[in-house]
Amino acid sequence: MSEDLWKYTLRPEDEGKKYEEILKRRLHFSRHLVQGLKQGERAWVNGRFTFLSARGHAGETLALALQPEETTNIEAEPLPLRIIYEDDYLLAVNKSCGQVVHPTPRYPHNTLGNAVAWHWQSQGQEHIFRPIHRIDRNTSGLVLIAKNRFAHQQLAWQLEHSWVQKRYLGFVSGQIAEDNGQIDGPLRLVPGSFILRQVHPQGQKALTFFRVLRRYPAATLLEFDLKTGRTHQIRVHCQAMGHPLLGDDLYGGDTALIGRQALHSFSYSFSHPADSRILTLRAPWPADLLDLTRALAL
């Protein structure tokens, strides 16, 4: 039995229940993940191999091998990578503006995925690149990546049930009078476009909370708390309330002081999939946003 295992001690309320039922209902394992754990010897109770169909007892320790061997799915490239946090389950990086998260036919190289693949390869590791969320090419900041299927599934469940707190910082045009507020505007693609989004009653639900951090003569620094994660959500919501992000030429932002949307993925707070502790990660501001703050203060 490997020492590198995920472990769970059964509680009194788990008494007599099948291990697979405990994993699905209490610990939110997906059906697909549980099926994978049935392949080969990947589950033990108190050090002895077990079938997940067996029934458990309070006080037992269920141990699972959650990291089967994988082959990377992305070409490794020696690119700069600013690591904020890494353990056996997760990798968090501070993405630069201008970098695509995942390789695409249009952007097959120089992506964050290529950089991460090189980082893991240099450490003798192989993982499939599984970002928990993506940010736009010209949005900077925190990107969280799962290093195995279990971590990815657990974080996806937390996202779906609004257990993850994602916060962004952004500079919008004009001064916003209220100190905080919310934008509840469903989003959909603009008819005939593959890129532009718009607020529309027939769109997908999108909810953004904002808080004013600082007011400048011609702009406002906001902190955004996302309750949904739609494509271009903050950008479209800012346009909809009449205060587009500075630099966001796609949605009407002024490009005089910065040449990209002034938006930064700042923090990510969640329950760690291995031990349930609350982990809060933050990404420092990039140089162009620091320059922008100085220019706005003049």
Residues annotated as part of the active site = 136
Spatial separation of the C-alpha atoms in residues 147 and 53, rounded to whole Å: 27
Per the listing, tokens 């930064």 go with 264
Spatial separation of the C-alpha atoms in residues 113 and 100, rounded to whole Å: 8
- CA nearest to 161, candidates 59, 55, 73, 270: 270
Report the C-alpha dihedral over residues 288, 167, 152, 97, rounded to 10 degrees.
Answer: -10
Query: Is residue 6 a contact partner of residue 58, using CB atoms and an 8 Å limit?
Result: no
- Identity of the amino acid at 107: Y
Per the listing, tokens 């703050």 go with 293
Spatial separation of the C-alpha atoms in residues 135 and 238, rounded to whole Å: 16
- CA nearest to 170, candidates 285, 282, 287: 285
- CA nearest to 129, candidates 141, 110, 143, 146: 146
Beta strands in the chain (DSSP E): 6-9, 43-45, 48-49, 61-64, 83-86, 90-95, 130-131, 140-146, 165-173, 180-184, 187-189, 197-199, 207-215, 219-226, 263-271, 278-282
- CA nearest to 172, candidates 226, 221, 233: 221
| Cβ count within 10 A of residue 18 | 15
